[in-house]
Amino acid sequence: MTDLSFIHRYEPATDPGRPPLLLLHGTGGDENDLLGLGRMISPGSALLSPRGKVLENGMPRFFRRLAEGVFDEEDVRSRANELADFVAEARKAYGLEAPVAVGFSNGANIAAAMLMLRPEALSGAALLRAMVPLSHAPQAGLAGKRVLMISGAMDPIIPADNSKRLAASLSASGAEVRHEVLPTGHNLSQTDLQLLVRWFAGNGK
């Protein structure tokens, strides 16, 4: 759909007891990428899945980077605010509560930036292979928000201390953070899926 500020897919809820999900793809993905994952991890949830507006060698992303692991932080801030504005639009258009973000890689990083800059936009987040999006993040009010982070111990892109710093930063802002480190790389595994299913089963509205 293109009638809002981002090209996106939307699937209405079939279980009103499940939280809406904001699905945020990784580099080179699009609005279709994580729909199947969303259906598996929180059956019956409304699904809102936008396409990132930044192109890197033709591949959609949610913000610019200067090199792998080096972000254009001014763009991160601008794009996080733009995406939060889209969430507000979509909530009004579709009658949604604040969603739980489910982001992979670049999508997880923009979700983390949204938590830091626009905490009201999200009710929580599942951050898959996330890293610190802003070197000097503001202290956000994240009390009552649950955050699941799943990192890969053998991830060639994200140093272990980086993901630990992100978890600590979100915790310091009041979020209830669960950080799992799996014996895997950057790609998602069956264990990621199992952890997500269990986490969402305890999440509710």
Three-class DSSP category at 192: helix
25 classed as catalytic = no
- Cβ-count burial 132-145 (b if 16+ within 10 Å, e if not): bbbeebeebebeeb
Taking the C-alpha atoms of residue 169 and residue 140, their distance in angstroms, rounded to an integer, is 9
Q: Which of 30, 72, 75, 186 is catalytic?
A: 186
155 classed as catalytic = yes
109: phi then psi, degrees, rounded to nearest 5: -70, -40
Strands 100-104 and 70-71: unpaired
Q: Which of 105, 151, 163, 173 is catalytic?
A: 105
Q: Which of 151, 155, 163, 169 is catalytic?
A: 155
Strands 124-128 and 146-152: parallel
Catalytic residues: 105, 155, 186
